Structure 1
């Protein structure tokens, strides 16, 4: 399984926004500069989060993005699904039904042990991501890297 790199960018962006005062907009160009990312591509990721209800956008000279919900109510799975979509990563095509003498009355997509294994693994993966919140990551980052929050906030607040 391979996710787009925008997932990492979006999660970091959400963490930065969790550190800002509630409702305060973060300029996406400044955020892109902070991480040395292409601004237009980061903006696309943030717009996808707006469409998913994870972020809200604010227009105007002091505009940008902010979290649409409290960070403890936003999971990593919310971010991943907003960017990657809800479709399963594994798609069983039921090829076991193509084998010689296969019973054509069997739903091989449902009965295939390989498909069941992959669906179970994805369920565990999604459950793990659903347990991790943006607030939890932000708190952990603050404990592990005590200066990270203040440095990020100062950079993002500076007009450049």
Structure 2
């Protein structure tokens, strides 16, 4: 299975936003810069994450993006489904019925074994993604990543986050 490049960008951006302090935001242009992506390309994916209520888009000159809920409540499956959609990766077209010898539909009462196997794999894949939260990814990076890379990421977030006037904190 091959996921679109937008999934990688979306996960990295969400992980970066997990490091933004309190109610602050980070502009989409800064997120694009952090990963060497086109701002217009990334904006499409940030909008998908906002529509899925993973991110919150804050308008205005000090606006930007922030997580819409705590990183502990966002799974990799949430992000993948926001970008790729909810349809399974494999969609059976029942091509076994398309050959030159036409057989009555009653010969196909049992589900296609290939489709069943592929859907079983899809369930396992989605279950594994559902078990991994954004906070897990961030904690693993902080613990196991190269300290130079972690420090550079933290410094980038500190430079680009925009404090908000409201004193409320990120939703739990």
Q: TM-score, normalised by structure 1?
A: 0.90
Matched, 1:30 2:55: no
Secondary structure of the structure 2 residue equivalent to 1:56: strand
Distance 1:77 1:107 in 2: 33
Q: Which residue of the partner structure matches residue 166 of structure 2?
A: none
Post-superposition CA distance 1:127-147 (Å, at most 9, x none):
111111100000000001245
Count how many residue pairs are aligned between Structure 1 and Structure 2. Answer: 158
Two-structure CA RMSD over aligned residues (Å) = 1.8
Shift in alpha-carbon separation, 1:106–1:138, aligned structure 2, 3 A: farther
Q: Which residue of 2 aligns with 1:75?
A: 75
Query: Which runs of 5 or more residues in structure 1 are unaligned?
Result: none
Q: For 2:57, what is the secondary structure of its paired residue?
A: strand
Q: Which position in structure 1 is the counterpart of 2:42? A: 42
1:152 corresponds to: 153
In the alignment, the residues of structure 1 paired with residue 118 and residue 15 of structure 2 have an alpha-carbon distance, to the nearest angstrom, of 30
Q: 1:107: how far off?
A: 5.1
SS of the aligned residue for 1:66 comes to strand
How many Å separate the matches in 1 of 2:135 and 2:97?
Answer: 46
Specify the SS of the correspondent of 1:154.
helix
Q: Take 1:97 and 1:70, find their aligned partners in 2: how far apart are those partners?
A: 48
CA gap 1:49/1:117 in 2 versus in 1, 3 angstroms: same
TM-score by length of 2: 0.84
Distance 2:19 2:58 in 1: 18
Q: For CA contacts below 8 A with separation 6 or more, give which structure has more relative contact order.
A: 2
Please name the residue that 2:112 is paired with: 112
**Partner Cα separation in structure 2 for residue 51 and residue 155 of structure 1:** 26
